[in-house]
Structure 1
């Protein structure tokens, strides 16, 4: 029997010796912390402090999501970052899909030590996207593309429908995030599924173009679809992201400097 999705936020404190390291983690559009809970546990098991909020409008109903604005999603993740900043020496940002875009926003506006992304979304290829601001007046929702998971019997717990008004908000957030990408200087690690029915390679191309001043590592996932953190390559993501954080901190220590940092909070 498949258990009910756990939409609750996740929080842990740092443990172990050495510098205190935090990870602020974001789920994607129409999803919830359920899809990243195992990843959050992996970070916590590695001794990192973790904050994974439930974004406004998520974990309840798509009608609730239709009433939210993208600034509320960013604000929730930014507040989680600030909690970690107050208790940690270094903070990394991580996320999946739209949560990847939110993590990039944190990296562009806060001094993060690094970024880890899984199938990040920055572009909506649907030709209706530019018209969403008008369509939302006559079309409340569309069927969702959820549970894009190769592994059988897995449920990410996302909404069954996508609110058009919220999709319009997401598209506005994507456009604004693309503008911020050149600010990022911290290293970025990306896990990209070779087959993804939700996010196209247009988002990866946009990310490559935008990261003019940040090292980018792109790792291919051959055995997972979009929700890779719940799919066959999940353990690889968990191990690899922990190693990335440790190696980034180790490299900074060898250089005798703090990890690369982006600019402070901007006007976005």
Structure 2
């Protein structure tokens, strides 16, 4: 059983209690909630919104702890957070980075009437990485391989993420991405897609596919030209913060 002491500093869930507008934030694969802190703090400070960033099960501990989790566990972590927000808030939004962006789109597709708007940031539907994918069903695979974190352009910033990827979880994320891709036409919530043209983890084509496949009548894209994959803590974080704030406010007033 995980205790608070097992979770690294910067890896714990965070909550900013505010008004009846709630925003659910999701970090990415092997990452931590610290990657969503700048966006959450900004939205709460500027608008007084209630912000909740759950810790996806197995994250913020050790790669070994993550290896014992599944995509269903990560979804459940967010669904529990969603229920918490819904019990306190009249309007609910969601944003997520990388796998968090994929999970954002999954939940928006699963619950098409729940979110006033969503904002996937460098979301993944595939990695375009054959050698990475090859580990998914490899019988003789090691427990972990080299991590995919810390793709940040700002040399003064380092992402808090696992240095290794649990091989068992590669299968889980590929399943999640495949299911989410097929569910995209179910998404009707206003969708703001934020994408870094130079991303060394997730091909930018993923974001264009999301924009094309969702059935939202209100769709918009913002380019993050001075950031790599972990854009929420990179040079363009202020663009993300203000773009998400503007888009969510417009959806609230619409």
Asked whether the equivalents of residues 99 and 120 of structure 1 are also in contact (C-alpha less than 8 Å), the reply is: yes
- 1:49, CA displacement in angstroms? 0.7
What does 1:1-268 align with in structure 2 at a 5 Å threshold? Answer: 6-15=10-19, 20-45=20-45, 46-110=47-111, 111-128=114-131, 130-135=133-138, 137-251=140-254
CA distance in 2, matches of 1:134, 1:55: 23
CA distance in 2, matches of 1:130, 1:32: 23
User: Which residue number in structure 2 is paired with residue 260 of structure 1?
Assistant: none
SS of the residue corresponding to residue 50 of structure 1 reads strand
**What TM-score, normalized by structure 2, do the two folds share?**
0.91
SS of the residue corresponding to residue 83 of structure 2 reads helix
1:160-202 deviation line (CA, Å, top 9, x unaligned): 1111111110000111111211111011101111211011023
Aligned structure 1 segments of 4 or more residues deviating by more than 3 angstroms: 128-133
Structure 1 residues not aligned, in runs of 5+: 252-268
1:55-114 deviation line (CA, Å, top 9, x unaligned): 111001111111110000001101111111111111001100000011111211221110
CA distance in 2, matches of 1:204, 1:120: 6
CA RMSD, Structure 1 to Structure 2 (Å)? 1.6
- Would you say how many aligned residue pairs link Structure 1 and Structure 2? 244
1:28-57 deviation line (CA, Å, top 9, x unaligned): 000000111111111211211111011111
Asked whether the equivalents of residues 94 and 104 of structure 2 are also in contact (C-alpha less than 8 Å), the reply is: yes
Closer/same/farther in 2, CA of residues 148 and 133 from structure 1, 3 Å limit: closer
Closer/same/farther in 2, CA of residues 214 and 29 from structure 1, 3 Å limit: farther
1:103-135 deviation line (CA, Å, top 9, x unaligned): 111211221110012111111211145543322
CA distance in 1, matches of 2:138, 2:251: 45
Structure 2 residues not aligned, in runs of 5+: 1-7
